[in-house]
Structure 1
Amino acid sequence: MIRFTKTEVRDLLISFIVISLSFAILFTGRNLASAIYILPIAMVGVGAGFILHELGHKFASIHFGYWAEYKLWPAGLVIALVSSFFGFVFAAPGAVYTYGNFVSERENGIISISGPIVNIILALIFLGVAVFIYPAAFYSGSLQIAFLVCSLGFSINSYLAVFNLIPVWNLDGSKVLRWNGLIWVITIAIAGIMTYFSMTIGVENIVRAIIGL
């Protein structure tokens, strides 16, 4: 049975707001006025990316019969905000904690990879929508905003996937790598390629290449 405690809902909401603001600061070049302006747009990508990433962990834990609960990390919230002023976001405002008498390495690996996989899928969905609406966005202000939302959604989710798959500290990547090295290589390669292109040529150029413009 899927249950959320009041503390868990509070922690998710606080983390969601802080991580959204951090990415808004990052994508506006540390311009706070512009960051506040695009915050609602960033929230869509982060809302889908961050919240569903954590729910991916939670649902996978429940699938194996464990209790799981998200808890924020206060220091992580501060680090996320501060790091955004230095050109990146240390996106670790908290984590889903799985409680069980014995969680096998395989189960822990599957639980850990579920979050990044959610981000990869979401990034591809955002990219697919961006490709679909791009030709019409030239003639519609609302579709231009939708395209911006999709662009940020692709970039943010790609970044969240590759960041969490880094095999250091207590990030997902370290647990996935211990479980299955091949799966880790494949997933971080996919996430890494997506992030690289979003940060170098940009989402619009990716879309134009896909549709042949």
Structure 2
Amino acid sequence: MFKFTTSEIRDLFIAFIFISLSFAIANSARNPSAILNLLPIVMFGVGAGFILHELGHKLVSMKYGYWAEFKLWPQGLLFALITSFFGFVFAAPGAVYTYANYMTEEINGKISIAGPIVNIILAVIFLAISVAIYPSAFYSETSLLIFIICSVGYSINSFLAVFNLLPIGNLDGSKVLTWNAGIWIIAIAIAGIMTLMSMTIGVENIVRIILGY
């Protein structure tokens, strides 16, 4: 059964607020007014990306019969805020801890890759909505707002996927690479290309290319 502890819900909420604020700061040139305007928009992408990423880990862990719980990493929260002032977010505010006496590399790898896969899927969904809504964004403020939210959602989720797949320390990438190098290469290549396109071409230009504009 999918259960949450009170402390887990608290930690998820705190991490969500901090990571949303960090992304807002990183993408607003540290302008207080821009931060306030961007924060609600960022929260949609981060809310879906961060929360569902962690739930992906938790769901797969519990599928294998393990108890899994998200726990906050205070130092990670602080590091996320500090790096955001340099235009980059070290997005590691906490993690889902799986409690098991023994776990194979395969199971650990599958649990670890679940989060980044969620982010990749969400990025594709946000991009698809952006493509669908783009033509009406020229004359509808509602459509324009949805397009902006989905554009940010695509960028944040593609970044979260590639960041978590880095084979560094206790990030997901280390455990996925240990389990299956081929799957890790495919996953980080997809996430990396999506992130690179977002940073270089821009989401609007990606949409225009898809639509043939």
- Could you say whether these structures have the same fold, taking a TM-score greater than 0.5 normalized by the shorter chain as the test? yes
Query: Is 1:6 the counterpart of 2:2 in the alignment?
Result: no
Which residue number in structure 1 is paired with residue 191 of structure 2? 191
Measured in 2, the distance between the counterparts of 1:78 and 1:32 equals: 19
- Structure 2 residue aligned with 1:178: 178
1:126 corresponds to which letter in structure 2? Answer: F
Question: RMSD value over aligned CA atoms?
Answer: 0.5
Aligned match of 1:141? 141
Cα distance in 1 for residues equivalent to 2:21 and 2:211: 32
The 5 Å alignment of 1:21-170 reads 21-170=21-170
Residue type of the partner of 1:111? Answer: I
Q: Deviations over 1:158-196 (max 9, x none)?
A: 000000000010000000000000000000000000000
| Contiguous gaps of at least 5 residues in structure 2 | none
What TM-score does the superposition give when structure 1 sets the normalisation length? 0.99
Instruction: Tell me the distance in 1 between the aligned counterparts of 2:95 and 2:36.
Output: 26
- Letter of the 1:174 counterpart: S
TM-score (norm 2): 0.99
Structure 1 alignment gaps of length 5 or more: none
TM-superposed CA distance for 1:101, in Å, is 1.1
Instruction: Measure how far apart 1:30 and its partner are.
Output: 1.8
**SS of equivalent to 1:53:** helix
SS for the counterpart of 1:69 is strand
Q: What's the CA shift for 1:96? A: 0.2
CA distance in 2, matches of 1:112, 1:72: 17
- Cα distance in 2, alignment partners of residues 105 and 91 from structure 1: 24
Displacement after TM superposition at 1:41 (Å): 0.7
**Bigger shift: 23-32 or 77-86?**
23-32
- Report the counterpart of residue 208 of structure 1 in structure 2: 208
Structure 2 CA distance for aligned equivalents of residues 179 and 148 of structure 1: 37
Q: Distance in 2 between matches of 1:29 and 1:207?
A: 25
Task: Tell me the percent identity.
Answer: 67
Does the residue aligned with 2:96 lie in a helix, a strand or coil?
A: strand
Runs of 4+ in structure 1 deviating by more than 2 angstroms, as ranges, are: none
Amino acid at match of 1:31: N
- Between the aligned partners of 1:79 and 1:203, the Cα distance in structure 2 is 27
Task: State the Cα distance separating 1:29 from its structure 2 match.
Answer: 1.7
Secondary structure at the residue paired with 1:97? Answer: strand
Q: CA deviation at 1:201?
A: 1.1
Deviations 1:89-136 (A, max 9, x none): 000000000001111100000000000000000000000000000001
Deviation at 1:32, TM superposition (A): 2.3
Moved more, 29-38 or 190-199: 29-38
SS in 2 for 1:2: coil
How many residue pairs match? The answer is: 213
